């Protein structure tokens, strides 16, 4: 007997009735279905039919029953055994690991001299921004006669003149390695020197941008930034010392952390995505989502700072290992054409870019949803937007300098030379996405 539209409170749903009886109860969300399934005391066994194994396994874990079976009917084919039907499809992939030595830990700046020695180097040129010169001097003291000098002239986007002057200085001081201590701008200057001279880089990141784990360089000439990949610019050694991030102000930390988050989210649906990077991306998203509210709440919290830097390390590997997509294209356009600040633009655009890809990259984005505490690909945009709100990040591109005509112009520029993206670049929807981002609205 079938009871259509039964209420979860009906006796037939609540009691152990000797049937055959089937009760049909409607629900609209997974949470609601779980609440219904768990509202009876007789949860001896249960079953789930699904086309989505990951979602079903998550549901099965949350059902209070002695046994729960999962039937993945989508993958059943004639001639396949039942066991084969449960195996996820394994797509072919290529994975190339990058040979950087990583030293991670609170206070690990103290390992710098040993790491330089390990590289066989004796004269380190220490690079910083003008703002972090004092930190550079501290490093020089730490290195003693292994320090060739401090060059505190790194600036955003590595202007060619700055790179050339730094190369001359490295040669003048007879440096045999560079220590780049700071954010992406300082590490970028180290890369510009390495590209030219082949000097090994020891990178000591103090933000979450991720440049230290990539072989991507950027150089700006006549206001045009050119980027490329070159194995010579990949740092030989990276020291992650969370203690050095304590001075990064809460708001900059939040945006920088969301910049890292963007690398991990886009790695999940990259054209050359692969299982190893998938694991790292999911772990990175989880770590950053957990840590960043703690960092903003108390910038001196060592646990939150360590967890955030760990997430940023993984995000850096993602960025260095697979190609990026719509989100990065839009941010490069916003940075290049409208000079918007790098990390803030990333933080604001990410929820909208993820939402744009919610159907075309449903599987990969479901992993992001899981790491953010949700379950469906369609939730990722809203979850990231809510995280931005929680972190107190400005939500409108207009507030960080995007002019009224920005969305139309940026959409047109991005579509003229698109990156790979799971959903093709569509100028109208991209302009609409940027318009919402400009106004600070939630993705829709
Ligand atoms: N090549 C790559 O793979 C790659 C990856 C990510 C970013 N980037 C580039 O990096 C640049 C952005 O880097 P960023 O976001 O790290 O910013 P940044 O390096 O420009 O740093 C911003 C400011 O914060 C200061 N700062 C950094 N760490 C600090 C700390 N712990 N305490 C106090 N102040 C601190 C810096 O001195 C600087 O004044 C962009 O040019 C971007 O294109 C390159």
Q: How far is the CA of 321 from the centre of ligand 1 (A)?
A: 20
Determine the pLDDT at residue 102. Answer: 98
Confidence class of residue 28 from pLDDT cuts 50, 70 and 90? confident
Structural domain contains residue 95:
no
Residue 271 is classified by DSSP as T
User: Could you tell me which of 238, 317, 232, 217 has the C-alpha nearest to residue 274?
Assistant: 317
Radius of gyration of the chain (CA): 25
| Distance in angstroms (rounded) separating the CA atoms of residues 280 and 317 | 8
More confident residue, 3 or 373: 373
433 and 295 both lie in a single domain:
yes
pLDDT in tens, 345-368: 999 999 999 999 999 999 999 999
- State if residue 284 touches ligand 1 by the CB under 6 angstroms criterion: no
189 and 50 both lie in a single domain:
no
| Distance in angstroms (rounded) separating the CA atoms of residues 377 and 363 | 7
230 and 367 both lie in a single domain:
no
Candidates 182, 220, 251: which one to mutate for ligand 1, based on the most atoms within 8 Å of Cβ? Answer: 182
Structural domain contains residue 92:
no
Would the pLDDT of 41 be above 80?
no
Structural domain contains residue 444:
no
Which domain CATH number covers 30?
3.40.309.10
User: Could you tell me which of 230, 223, 116 has the C-alpha nearest to residue 160?
Assistant: 223
208 and 258 both lie in a single domain:
no
Q: Tell me which residue range forms the domain holding 41.
A: 2-86
State the DSSP H helix or E strand holding residue 179, giving kind and residue range, or none if neither: strand 177-182
107 and 195 both lie in a single domain:
yes
| Percent residues over pLDDT 90 in the chain | 75
Angle at CA of residue 424, ends 422 and 428, nearest 5°: 135
Determine the pLDDT at residue 74. Answer: 55
21-30, 45-54, 351-360: which has the highest mean pLDDT? 351-360
Atom of ligand 1 nearest to the CA of 208: 16
- Provide the CA 392 distance to its chain's centre, in angstroms: 19
* Domain final position from 244, 274, 294: 244
- State if residue 211 touches ligand 1 by the CB under 6 angstroms criterion: yes
User: Could you tell me which of 295, 296, 290 has the C-alpha nearest to residue 305?
Assistant: 295
Is the torsion defined by CA of 16, 36, 377, 358 positive or negative? Answer: positive
Which domain CATH number covers 159?
3.40.50.1970
- State if residue 182 touches ligand 1 by the CB under 6 angstroms criterion: yes
Structural domain contains residue 196:
yes
Which domain CATH number covers 342?
1.20.1090.10
List the beta bridge partners of residue 229. Answer: 216
259 and 317 both lie in a single domain:
yes
* Domain final position from 178, 212, 244: 244
114 and 234 both lie in a single domain:
yes
Contact 405, 434 (CB under 8 A): no
Structural domain contains residue 91:
no
- State if residue 220 touches ligand 1 by the CB under 6 angstroms criterion: no
* Domain final position from 220, 244, 268: 244
232 and 367 both lie in a single domain:
no
- State if residue 244 touches ligand 1 by the CB under 6 angstroms criterion: yes
159 and 128 both lie in a single domain:
yes
Contact 43, 64 (CB under 8 A): yes
297 and 374 both lie in a single domain:
yes
- Counted domains in the chain: 3
pLDDT in tens, 235-269: 999 999 999 999 999 999 999 999 999 999 999 99
Within a 10 A sphere around the Cβ of 325, how many other Cβ atoms?
A: 26
Structural domain contains residue 93:
no
Structural domain contains residue 339:
yes
124 and 41 both lie in a single domain:
no
Would the pLDDT of 411 be above 60?
yes
Q: CB-based burial of residue 364 (10 Å sphere; 0-12 exposed, 13-18 middle, 19+ buried)?
A: buried
Structural domain contains residue 304:
yes
Contact 183, 209 (CB under 8 A): yes
pLDDT in tens, 161-204: 999 999 999 999 999 999 999 999 999 999 999 999 999 999 99
64 and 174 both lie in a single domain:
no
């Amino acid at each position: 007997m079938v009871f259509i539209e039964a209420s979860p409170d009906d006796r037939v749903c609540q009691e152990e009735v000797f049937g055959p009886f089937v009760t049909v109860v409607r629900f609209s969300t997974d949470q609601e279905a779980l609440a219904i399934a768990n509202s009876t005391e007789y949860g001896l066994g249960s079953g789930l039919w699904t086309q989505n194994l990951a979602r079903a396994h998550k549901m099965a874990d949350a059902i209070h029953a002695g046994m729960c079976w999962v039937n993945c009917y989508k993958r059943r084919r004639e001639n396949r055994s039942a066991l084969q039907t449960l195996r996820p499809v394994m797509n072919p992939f290529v994975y190339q690991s990058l040979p950087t030595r990583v030293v991670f830990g609170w206070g690990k700046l103290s390992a710098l001299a040993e790491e330089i020695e390990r590289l066989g180097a004796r004269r380190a040129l220490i690079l910083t921004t003008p703002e972090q010169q004092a930190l550079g001097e501290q490093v020089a003291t730490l290195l003693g006669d292994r320090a060739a000098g401090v060059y505190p002239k790194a600036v955003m986007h590595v202007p060619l003149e700055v790179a050339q002057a730094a190369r001359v200085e490295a040669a003048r001081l007879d440096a045999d390695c560079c220590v780049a201590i700071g954010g992406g701008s300082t590490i970028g200057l180290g890369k510009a020197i390495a590209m030219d001279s082949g000097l090994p880089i020891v990178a000591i990141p103090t933000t979450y941008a991720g440049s230290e784990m990539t072989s991507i360089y950027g150089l700006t000439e006549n206001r045009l930034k050119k980027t490329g990949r070159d194995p010579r610019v990949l740092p030989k050694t990276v020291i992650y010392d969370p203690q050095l991030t304590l001075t990064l102000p809460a708001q900059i930390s939040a945006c920088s952390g969301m910049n890292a988050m963007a690398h991990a989210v886009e790695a999940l649906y990259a054209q050359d995505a692969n299982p190893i990077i998938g694991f790292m991306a999911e772990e990175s998203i989880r770590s950053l989502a957990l840590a960043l509210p703690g960092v903003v709440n108390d910038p001196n919290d060592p646990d939150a700072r360590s967890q955030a830097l760990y997430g940023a390390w993984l995000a850096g590997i993602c960025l260095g290992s697979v190609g990026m997509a719509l989100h990065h294209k839009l941010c490069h356009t916003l940075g290049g054409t409208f000079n918007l600040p790098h990390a803030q633009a990333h933080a604001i655009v990410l929820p909208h870019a993820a939402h744009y890809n919610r159907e075309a990259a449903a599987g990969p984005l479901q992993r992001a949803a899981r790491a953010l505490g949700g379950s469906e690909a369609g939730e990722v945009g809203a979850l990231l937007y809510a995280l931005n709100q929680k972190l107190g990040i400005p939500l409108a591109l207009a507030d960080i300098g995007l002019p009224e005509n920005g969305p139309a112009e940026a959409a047109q520029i991005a579509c003229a030379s698109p990156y790979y993206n799971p959903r093709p670049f569509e100028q109208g929807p991209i302009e609409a996405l940027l318009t919402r981002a400009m106004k600070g609205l939630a993705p829709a």
